[in-house]
Structure 1
Amino acid sequence: MPYRPAESRYDAMPYRRVGRSGLKLPAVSLGLWHNFGEDTPHATKRALCRTAFDHGITHFDLANNYGPPPGSAEEAFGEILRTDLAGWREELVISSKAGYEMHAGPYGEWGSRKYLVQSCDASLRRMGLDYVDIFYSHRFDPDTPLEETMGALDFIVRSGRALYAGISSYNSERTREAVRILRELGTPCLIHQPSYNLLNRWVERDGLLDTLEDEGMGCIAFTPLAQGILTGRYLNGIPSEGRATQGKSLDPAMVTDDVVARLNRLNAVAEARGQTLAQMAIAWVLRGGRVTSALIGASKPSQIVDCAGAAANLEFTEGELAAIEKASDDAALNLWAKSSEGV
């Protein structure tokens, strides 16, 4: 039977305006960083996308190097767009990025105009799209003038390859510089995608959230669940199955006794709120409206359902926030420290 999205898909998910723009994103978005490469069955990828859309998750976030191998996530998503999601493009927000290593040679990573433009073109071919809604500079390039990198984003938008420009993992100082350059070129910088979660609060210390508010930009936080640590699977230490045992993006050394103790204190607060730890972690990132959307990853449809449920309770009492602060402050579990320094 052909897929038909749930008619109730817009009933529960809130949609938030991205900074001072007309674009809205769901409070929870789906990232295809993990579980969309050739190491995952295509049927699983289809089920993840279907479940997300059925629950009001209209934003799908990709990058040129997502896989493995690089490019395979965009190819898989392109096939899903041609089949399951055919006819629904107008309801979707699709983003991609370039900045990390995509291929060998001097033009395979970072922020040159050549790399960014050709990467955007290749991403569009892989997904079978005429344009993406948002195209990001995935990371700051210390060896390329920021004017060149932002000029490439301006060209990508003006040429119709993308509707909006964004940046990811730039610190506050670099963000202000990038915004100024794009504003002078006539292409606003719509959104920033930093890492941010209960155990990784560098955006607060850096002043990035204040900068984004001042500049009228949106914010979509990646790793709001700290690579799965905040899902409740690590309450008793490292489980037999998970990212920490797969040799992927989570170093087992990150899951210390101190982290496990913090997780259990946070889980007690979540249980008292009637939420799972993952739901509370997402709700905390979204508290107060400074973060537009929380960008989750998933390996099972049930995980998407659980995360989408966070939108049902985004309010916190002063007591809850105090308990969360005590359990999470100074954890400094920043898996992306080098990137978030903007250098």
Structure 2
Amino acid sequence: MADISPKLAAMLTRSDIRFDLLSLLPQGWRPYAALARLDRPIGTWLLLLPCWWGLALAGNLSPLPYLMFAIGAVAMRGAGCTINDLADVEFDRQVARTAQRPLPSGAVSKRQALVFLAAQMLVGLAVLVTFNLPTILWAFGSVAIIIAYPFMKRFTNWPQFVLGLAFNWGALLGWTASFGALHWPALALYAAGILWTLGYDTIYAHQDKDDDERIGVKSTALHFGSETKFWISGFYAATLLLLGLACWGAGVPAWASALALIGMGGHFLWQLVWLDIDNPDNCLTLFKSNRFAGGLFLLPLLIAGALA
């Protein structure tokens, strides 16, 4: 497949320019910002969007929970990256793309990283206590998954599934923050998010497949190999089916559900048409574009809520 045009690639990645953001910070802060991936906001978006999906699916348009989830997503994504880098520091030294991260490069020590991790977790906790008790209790259920994820690539070909469990937990929290209890549409939304993550993170993993194979790290990219497009097509199709089920169960108007699913589905189709699993730049661009895919599903739900 031909490469994505340079103009389109720049449009899709312009909010992820590392140097510009880090250069605005004091010199001593930059390694910690890089450790938390503050210069690479795509991960924060992919963590935040399921939270906002849960709120929007519940018809909750109050600005405060959207803001609090945004702050929490920044803190918890940073904490997750710090945990990941502490666990993977020896692997990261052997992979070209990750060798210059703060821990493997020595810019931040393990002790400093642990202190920074504690600070980020405290910010997350401060955000969490602003929600109702069921949301607080459900949130603690994700901690074990967050800690376990970095080690999964050592034991299973499906670490992307565990990432999906962690990254989409916010779909449950957005719903419980609105209703104070968990109902089946939120579970359908959560399952859809897991399948979405299996798709986009398999694309992401194809960047490192040669290094991963060399050092013995497992991934769905290596597991699926040349059949990757077939598997991602299935994941994305199942994502749309479960999102449609969640919308139906939550009473989302038919027109809003249709717009949400057509928009996201069209974006999925575009990804599959352009995907070149042997081109790391192509994989990274398509991976980052998933913030638009998630936004295309979110926007019609917000509009429907505003019109209700």
TM-score computed with the length of structure 1 as normaliser: 0.28
Between structures 1 and 2, the one with greater helix share: 2
Higher RCO by CA contacts (8 Å cutoff, separation 6 or greater): 2
TM-score (ref. length: structure 2): 0.30
1 or 2, which has the higher strand percentage? 1
